[in-house]
Structure 1
Amino acid sequence: MTKLSVNINKIATLRNSRGGNNPDLVKVALDCERFGAQGITVHPRPDERHIRYQDVYDLKAVIATEFNIEGNCKEDKFVDLVLANQPAQVTLVPDAEGQITSNHGWDTIKHKDYLKEMVAVFQKAGIRVSIFVDPVVEMVEHAAETGTDRIELYTEAYAHNYFADREKAVVNYIAAAHKANALGLGINAGHDLDLHNLHYFAQSIPGLLEVSIGHALISDALYLGLETTIQKYLQQLA
Structure 2
Amino acid sequence: MQRKITALALVGLAGMTLAGCGVQHHASSPQHHATPTKKVAQKNKAGNSVALSSKQAAHTSSSSDQGKQFAFPQNMQGTWYGVDPFDGKMHTLVIKENQLTEDGHTLQCMTMKAWTPEDESIINNPQAAQNTWKQDHWGKAQWMDAQGHRWVNVRGWYQSAGDGESYCLDQENVNGQNVPVIIEASGAMFSTDNTYYRSQSLAEQAATQSSSSSQQPADQDDNDDD
Higher relative contact order (CA 8 A, sep 6+): 2
Q: Note whether the superposition's TM-score is higher than 0.5.
A: no
* Greater percentage in strand: 2
Point out the structure with max Rg over C-alpha.
Answer: 2
More helix by share: 1
TM-score, normalization: structure 1?
0.30
